[in-house]
Structure 1
Amino acid sequence: MPPMNAECDPRAQDAQPDQPGYLEPVNRAPSFVWPPRDASSLIAPPLPASTREPMNATGRMIESIEVDLLGRTMISFERWAKRTGWVPDEQAEYCWRCAGSVGPYEHDGEGCATCRAKRLPWDRALRLGRYEDELRQEVLSLKFRAWRPGGNGLGRYLGQVISDQLRRAQIAPEQVRLVPVPTNPWRRISRGVDHTLVLARAASECSGCPVAPVLRARHRQEQVGLSVTARARNMKDAFEVRTRTLHRHIEWGGVSARLWVVIDDVRTTGATFTACSKALRRGLRGISADHDAQVWVCSVAVAGERSRREPDRMSSEVVM
């Protein structure tokens, strides 16, 4: 049994040093200390990361320079997800037609209040979650810092979501083509990464669906800061079909394509998905008028209303 100190043992209250039962009192810090302690010892320990105040503009700039010089060193998105228990949104948390967030009983077989009255050029929409917190950071790191490990992790989660929906729809992976939203060549070169292709390839490894880069992007103004109407106008005819590539992938491996899934990082107003879906359908009709195939859209994240109105503070990103 460990020895008790003088405060806890009643036998020691009246015992003398030369008597049985005497326990050496515990040394205590005196109430008055001279010379005074260093002021640094009185500073409270730093707050946990989850309760720290958000960085100001200077802090964000310093962090950006540090990452650019030293590279990204944080844990992978998949490991972060396991530690925190993060999982992709359930189907009941967003509209099956537009992927917008909904509450209980706010969507039905015709969509939700946001999309029910609209004619959408795709048949189904999928997502991982909202464009916020760690999901947002991973998208930005992939897109503007060429953080491919994070992109691979996000892509594998996309592959899982796609696989789940294919099983429900009873569609074989061999009948599906993953179509990454193309990036303008100059932006791709300046960023050092084709971020949507990274996502699509990782999703392909997880789901077994082949990647079909059948679209080409024309140069357009960046979407950041544009209104909903301006975004739609800016994206009009922004994509065209690579006809030869499309021909090859319609009958890839002797299996006809039954479903085309357009993949992007973030959906804001849906202008990019609209332009891609229309271009893809035009190309399919041009090859075969009776080619009956579905078009789905799938994004890592869906931006909320606040993200639509305000440009991102971290960079001049193009959220389309």
Structure 2
Amino acid sequence: MTVAFSGDPAASWSILLEASLREAPDPSVVAARMSRASEEFPNLGPAAVVLRPSDWDGARTEFADGHYSVGDPLVRVALAGDSLMIAAHHGAVDGLGLLALLGIALGESVCSSATGVALRSPDRPYLLNALDRVREAVWTPPARIQPTLRGNESGDHLVSRALPAVKLGSARLTSAALDATRKWNATRGAAHGRVVAAIGASWRGGADPRPEADSALLRLRLPAGATEDDVRALLTAATPEAGFPSAHNPLAQWGMRLLASRLGSTFLVSNLGVVKGNVSALRFFPAATGRSGVAFGVVTTGEVTTATVRVRRRNFDAAAAAELLDLLCDAVLTGHEARR
């Protein structure tokens, strides 16, 4: 099965979920469950092989950076003791779909507090949005999180931080990412006046996730000086972007390549909410595309909120990725204390 999914043609579009389990599952049982899932859900492609890597970090890099070829499984699974990693092409499943795959692998229910945007609908077709994006890219491109490198290395750096569980909705997460962007760029003498946030969402909620792609994207133009309350108001009023056309549309692909350095958002944030399941910790890495190639992910389980950042290697080294994530975490915790 081939997934047609447009967007940044250089990106792998591989989203990733890591789980620390309360007990180690039987790899053969996990493999059988994933095989049955591929039969039930054709969008997953051929059955995933459950890898048992000796190099966990290397497997994470391979899962995140490796592009999906025609005929490949669209889901990747690795298991090492009580650590489970699931990656999938974003055209096959969304973030909540990864949670559904986790539940399938474990043979039990995994659910999330995340709410969907089913009651909202795009207010205009993709073509009009695309024309606006082109006009924006040419005349007023979104601010970029200032790169620390001008390299050619492919792939992404993935970094995570564990925090005490905090109440963190999409508005606060977006506001924290905005604050991190402002501080990062100000320190480097770069502009940050036209920040555009992309917020990953789903058309459905997380109460009963399915291994499908049902993602939605909200896009907010954040004015200079925007506060968390401003972000919340903009988010409440936002309508999802219309879906991408087929990736096989040559005109769309040509336009994406021509304007790749100016299209998209300043950053993406995606929050899987509070997850209930037989896991002690989760780490979620959404796709990093857009102007900056920076994506922040958040998920809470039990007493732990885990924040992640995914950045393009050609623009940021690992130390820069860690520093950027620290800025986000500081803003999250500061906002949490201010709201108490």
Alignment TM-score, normalising by the size of structure 2 = 0.25
Where is the strand percentage greater, Structure 1 or Structure 2?
2
Greater RCO, 1 or 2 (C-alpha within 8 Å, sep 6+): 2
Alignment TM-score, normalising by the size of structure 1 = 0.27
Where is the helix percentage greater, Structure 1 or Structure 2?
1
